[in-house]
Amino acid sequence: MSVQQISVFLENKPGTLKKMTGVLAANGIDMRATSVAETKDFGIARLIVEDVLNAVNVLKENDFVASLTPVLAIEIPDEAGGLDKLLEIFADAEVNIEYMYAFPGGKRTNKACMIFRVADTKSAEARLTGKGVKILTQENIEEI
């Protein structure tokens, strides 16, 4: 049930991130969520998109190094304490979070989506689903 995240390695220099977003825009690829982590010499852009295979192919055709990583996409109420309640479930289920980021669902849904990278996605899915957590699939990521 996991979602595929695209990780794109970028040189840490002016214009590199813009080049990546320009390639995606020119090919009609909408980024649902984006996170950028950096070091002195390079960065990693993490992307959630609806058409993962098309996006990866477009990036590779334009000389970007891109890879896929399974992540958990979890729907939460877009309200104060929504994330805190979810993190309590993670703690109770003993699921360690390597990193996370989010994207809002908009006013029509009153939901948000949290993206979590965990060590063992399948094990975490089993533990969390049993506690009533709504884990999204690649197919229903656009519902948020």
pLDDT of residue 108: 62
Q: What are the Cα distances from residue 9, in Å, to 36, 70, 80, 86, 139?
A: 10, 17, 34, 30, 25
Domain 71-139 has CATH 1.20.1070.10: no
Domain positions in the chain are: 3-70, 71-139
Average pLDDT over the chain, rounded to an integer: 90
> Which tens digits make up the pLDDT trace of 86-100?
999 999 999 999 999
pLDDT of residue 143: 67
Q: Which CATH architecture has domain 3-70?
A: 2-Layer Sandwich (3.30)
pLDDT of residue 144: 65
Tokens of residue 67, six digits: 């890879």
pLDDT of residue 42: 87
pTM: 0.87
pLDDT of residue 106: 60
> Which tens digits make up the pLDDT trace of 41-68?
888 999 999 899 999 999 999 999 999 9
- Asked whether this chain's domains 3-70 and 71-139 adopt the same fold, the reply is no
Q: How far apart are the first and last CA of the chain?
A: 16
> Which tens digits make up the pLDDT trace of 11-41?
988 999 999 999 999 999 999 899 998 777 8
pLDDT of residue 118: 95
Predicted confidence (pLDDT) at residue 107 exceeds the cutoff of 60: no
